[in-house]
Structure 1
Amino acid sequence: MNTPLDRRTVVLDVFTAEPLKGNPLAVVIDAEGLSDAQMAAYARWTNLSETTFLLPPTDPAADYRVRIFTPGGELPFAGHPTLGSCQAWLDAGGVPREAGVVVQECGVGLVQVRQIDGAPSRLAFSAPPLRRSGPAEPVVMAQVMRALRICADAVLGVEWIDNGPGWLGVRLRDAAAVRALVPDFVAMRGLNVGVIGAWPAGGAVDVEVRAFVPDLGVPEDPVTGSLNAGLAQWLIGSGVLPARYVAGQGHALGRDGRVHVEHIAAGEWAGVWIAGDVTRCIAGTLRL
């Protein structure tokens, strides 16, 4: 065990401009020298959906490296930890190698993060390529029906949208059906399930999203960037959703997260971008 040191740490609320409405993230800024066991233990202790640790990059193209832990283990990539970790790095004095874009190194490789013009607290990450895609197998679809306690005619599609955490996307008929879900987490074992349904046009948000990850010690995640990235790649790519929309998430947990999704067809920033506001709630030191 290393000698305890005081390390800078912050707790940020991601995907909200209003504190306590998004998804909290603990970030240890001075994480160099911590062991895997210490990182895992601190993530279990915070009991947040994710806790991250900032480290010097190993790739010369990256500005920093991040390791992402849930209470149940380490992830190669996650969305709200990407935005929150980038903001923490910038607030701690980080200066990107290239003006206007920060390059994060994580388990899936390099991820670009940029600030949104006209929204000083809002960052966006470039959705990484899907590791697995396509329709779910019949046995998986049957498990999803049991886990969500719904029948097959309530579902418009079930696809793999795995960009690191192993997401399986489920499209329901409308947002009300998404909010009404009361999952069976025992039946869901082995799956990370994201559910989406559309709201009527003209509301504050366009779709409602929920994320269930019981195997990672987080039965329901408040607001989920990686899931929204996978859903966007699936549903914009198939023409179901427009190139720009806003997702709401967190209602069942008393949150009101906002995920701003945009597909840029060409140019320097071509791809799917997932944006959200980042609000700092706590700053201090950690003895670890």
Structure 2
Amino acid sequence: MTKLPYYLVNVFAETHFGGNPLAVFTNAAMLNDTQMQAIAKQFNLSETVFIQPSNDDHVVANLRIFTPNYEMPFAGHPTLGASFVLSQLNNLPDQFIINTQAKAVHIHRDDVQIFLTISGFEVTPCQVSQAYLTDICQINSNKINYLGYFANSGTTQFLLQLDSLDDLLHAKIDLIKLQELFAKHCPDTSAEPSIYLWYQDEYCEEIIHSRMLFEQDGIFIEDTGTGSACANLGAYLIHQGLTPTRKTIHQGDHLGRANRLYLNIDTAQNIQVGGRVVMVGTGELWLDG
């Protein structure tokens, strides 16, 4: 029987039990795809991350990131959570590089927060009617003032700005219509249907409220804190010429798991996403065979 150590962390956490939970497997070199997928389904978190060795002296490790149903090429909270655990265990320098399936990611940490920095993205406006977008969200508003956008800074998602916080909190996604939207309009044919809804706070320009919903087993699951979507929001802001900028993203509050994501974009169009990570436990998984 193989015993695999793992760590439980909360990413984007302002409190001990806030943030987005993550399981980090630190010694996953011997695991195959089927085993990693089965372990992710066992933990049933939004993502589980597996750390594997890198053959590149400039890269600390390679990451494999799995939801309960499929592998993701990139995701923010697993990348930050894994980087935090590696730093804690190995006394790494304040800056290092870690590989995801999508791209290399630069990591920087200080005494309080840990950040990832990426560059390169694609943003595609979605040319459908505002009424169709309203139907997807099943909100009471009779209008949406903004186009939707497909954004990919590592993982493709559909981004839609809403007019009010009330619309954001009461949106209920029509799965069939969103699947149809991805099938007909998404430039990334391999992308899983997901939607990132966001609202610019009317009282504070630096605060954005958001929700992230994605398909799992034929229903929509809501994520409490989504680093990849925060990075895609950064790509959208660059696309709109609204940079350099700094934003604080509020996500998960209405689910009882407050997440705070810090988005910084510099003049070179580098996208930086970060927050606090809290270690909440460790253990062993027993693998048969």
Question: The TM-score by the shorter chain falls in which range?
Answer: 0.7 to 0.9
Query: Structure 2 length as normaliser, TM-score?
Result: 0.86
Q: Which amino acid aligns with 1:199?
A: D
Q: Which amino acid aligns with 1:272?
A: I
Partners of 2:281 and 2:119 lie apart in 1 by: 29
Matched-pair contact (CA < 8 Å) for 2:151–2:159:
yes
The equivalences for 1:5-84 within 5 A come to 5-84=2-81
Q: Which amino acid aligns with 1:283?
A: T
How many residues are paired up? 273
> Alignment identity in percent?
26
Partner of residue 165 from structure 1, selected from 134, 155, 159: 155
Partners of 1:143 and 1:69 lie apart in 2 by: 31
- Cα deviations across residues 256-285 of structure 1 (Å, max 9, x unaligned)? 10011111225xxx6121011000111122
Partners of 1:137 and 1:121 lie apart in 2 by: 42
* Partner in structure 1 of residue 89 of structure 2: 92
Matched-pair contact (CA < 8 Å) for 1:83–1:124:
yes
The equivalences for 1:144-159 within 5 A come to 144-150=133-139, 153-159=143-149
Secondary structure at the counterpart of residue 232 of structure 1: helix
Which is worse superposed, 142-151 or 86-95? 142-151
Matched-pair contact (CA < 8 Å) for 1:157–1:172:
no
Matched-pair contact (CA < 8 Å) for 1:179–1:251:
no
Mark the CA change 1:129 to 1:180 in structure 2 (over 3 Å): closer, same or farther.
same
Matched, 1:212 2:213: yes
Matched-pair contact (CA < 8 Å) for 1:68–1:78:
yes
Secondary structure at the counterpart of residue 84 of structure 1: helix
- Structural RMSD (CA): 2.3
The equivalences for 1:262-273 within 5 A come to 262-266=264-268, 271-273=270-272
Mark the CA change 1:155 to 1:149 in structure 2 (over 3 Å): closer, same or farther.
farther
Matched-pair contact (CA < 8 Å) for 1:22–1:222:
yes
- Cα deviations across residues 131-179 of structure 1 (Å, max 9, x unaligned)? x31201328x776433211467224231111223321110112333212
Query: Structure 1 length as normaliser, TM-score?
Result: 0.86
Partners of 2:254 and 2:145 lie apart in 1 by: 20
* CA displacement at 1:124 relative to structure 2: 0.6
- Cα deviations across residues 89-116 of structure 1 (Å, max 9, x unaligned)? 1122153xxx431211111121101014
* CA displacement at 1:224 relative to structure 2: 0.2
Partners of 2:132 and 2:39 lie apart in 1 by: 33
Matched-pair contact (CA < 8 Å) for 1:160–1:169:
yes
